[in-house]
Amino acid sequence: MIEVRNLVKNIASSHRQNAQKNGIAIIDNLELLIEQGQSASVQGASGCGKTTLLHLLSGLDHPCAGTLIVAKHAIHNYDETRLDYFRRHTIGIVFQQFHLLESLNVEDNIAFTARLAGNLDPHHINNLMQQLGIADMRNQRVTKLSGGEQQRVAIARALAHKPRVVFADEPTGNLDEHTSSAVSELLFSTCRALNTTLLLVTHSNDVAALADDAYHMTSGQLTKITPSLQKS
């Protein structure tokens, strides 16, 4: 479950203190509620603050004001140590650029987060690889894989430690239309099967349409899109 109340984030300008007080509010009293196991997509113009929202929710950035509760973690109050623990155990992140660890093979990349969190479940990892269609590539170097295959490895990595929430920032931004569709469907179906909450930032209407709820971000706030608008 994700619960966001009155979230404010100002963009740092050349003068840091002024930015905190008088800077431009990229997120302005934002409100959001996603139930456990549900998925949501966020769309919006470039620079509207979508990625900043993901950074705030994943504890990579600090809010100026507001409440951030992710899987019962009130992360707006957390210090760095607790945020590290939160990221290690509670969430998974999928990046646009995949960001796999090139020195490790497919299986080691996927198992990395689970081993780090101390809850390695080989059966679960095997299932993930089967579901994502990468079981045959487990011993391959990730640099040898295509973009679509790499992103499937990244999704498996994000889910390997059984996180309560997954954040995905433009996960299909680097993929062609066909691959994009396949990867998106896998991401949504896997999260749904594991009862994992998914918040996804995307420019693609097709990908956004796969989510249970779709939001549009403008002027630092989220607006829920009706199903008819979403389809269009």
Partner 1 sequence: MYSVILKASAGHAKQHPWPVLWLILAVTAAAAGLSAVLILNNAALQDYQRQSSLIPLHADLKVAGTINSVEPMTVAQHRAFYSQIRAAGFREVVAFQRENTQLTVNGDALEVTVYAVDAAALASLVSDAVPDPLGLVSVIAVSQDIAARLSADTAIALTINDQTVSLPWVSLASTQDSHATVLLDLHAFAQLNIALQPNYVVFATEYKRDIVAFLADRQLQYTPYTAEDSPIAITRSFHMSLLAMSLVMFLVCFFIVINALNLFMAGRSRMLKIFRQMGIPRTVIVRLLQVELALYALIGAVIGIFLGQLTAFLLAPSIATTLNNLFGVPVSLGELLHFPIYVPIIAICILATLISASVPIKRLASQLSHITPSTESSLAVSKALFFSLLLAGIALIGILFAGQLSMVFATVAMLLLSGVACLYWLYPTIIRLLVNVSHRTGPLIHWTFSHANVIAVHSRLACAAFFIALATHIGMTTMVDSFRSATEDWLQHRLIAEHYYYGDTGALLTVKERLDNEGIRTQERYQMNLYWQHENGGFAAQTYSYPATTEYLNGLKVEKLLPDGLNQFRAHRGLFINQQLAYRHGLDVGDTLSIAVADKTMDLTVVGIHYDFGNPDTQVLLPLNLLLQTTWTYEQAMSQAVRVMAIHTQDNIALKQYLDELGLSHERLYSRARLLEVSLAAFDQTFVITDALNLVTLLVAVFSLITSILLITNQTQNISGVLRSIGVTRMQLIASLIGQYLIIALITALCALPFGLALAYVLVKKVNVVAFQWMFPLTVDWLAILFAMVTSLVIISLFTSASILLSQSGSLKEQIQCRE
- What the block records as the tokens of 198 is 């998914």
Token pair, residue 174, equals 């680097």
Contact assessment for residue 73 and residue 86, using Cβ atoms and an 8 Å cutoff: yes
For partner 1, the closer of residues 40 and 154 by Cβ is: 154
CA atoms within 13 Å, Cβ hemisphere of 63: 26
14's tokens = 């050349």
Which residues here bind partner 1, judged by CB under 8 A?
51, 54-55, 58, 60-61, 80-81, 84-89, 92-93, 95-97, 99, 101-104, 108, 111-113, 115-117, 157, 169-170, 173
| Secondary structure of 99-117 in HEC code, one letter for each residue | CCCCCCEHHHHHHHHHHHH
Nearer to partner 1, 77 or 223 (CB): 77
Query: Number of C-alpha atoms within 13 angstroms, CB side, residue 171?
Result: 35
Q: Shortest Cβ distance from residue 49 to partner 1 (Å)?
A: 13
Say which residues have a Cβ less than 8 Å from residue 156's Cβ, sequence separation at least 6: 110, 125, 128, 129, 132, 134
Separation of alpha carbons 187 and 183, rounded Å: 6
Q: Whole-number minimum distance, CB 48 to partner 1, in Å?
A: 14
Q: Tell me how far apart the alpha carbons of residues 34 and 39 are, in angstroms, rounded to a whole number.
A: 7
Pick 141 or 192: Cβ nearer partner 1 = 141
Q: Which helix (H) or strand (E) holds 153?
A: helix 147-159
> At a CB cut-off of 8 Å and minimum separation 6, what does 60 contact?
none
- Among residues 117 and 182, whose Cβ is nearest to partner 1? 117
In terms of CB distance, is 165 or 230 closer to partner 1?
165
Cα atoms found within 13 Å of the Cα of residue 55, Cβ hemisphere only: 11
**Nearer CB in complex with partner 1: 63/220:** 63
Least distance in angstroms from the C-beta of 128 to partner 1? 16
Least distance (Å) between residue 231 CB and partner 1: 27
**Min dist. Cβ of residue 105 to partner 1 (A):** 9
Please identify, using beta-carbon distances, which residue of 103 and 146 lies nearer to partner 1.
Answer: 103
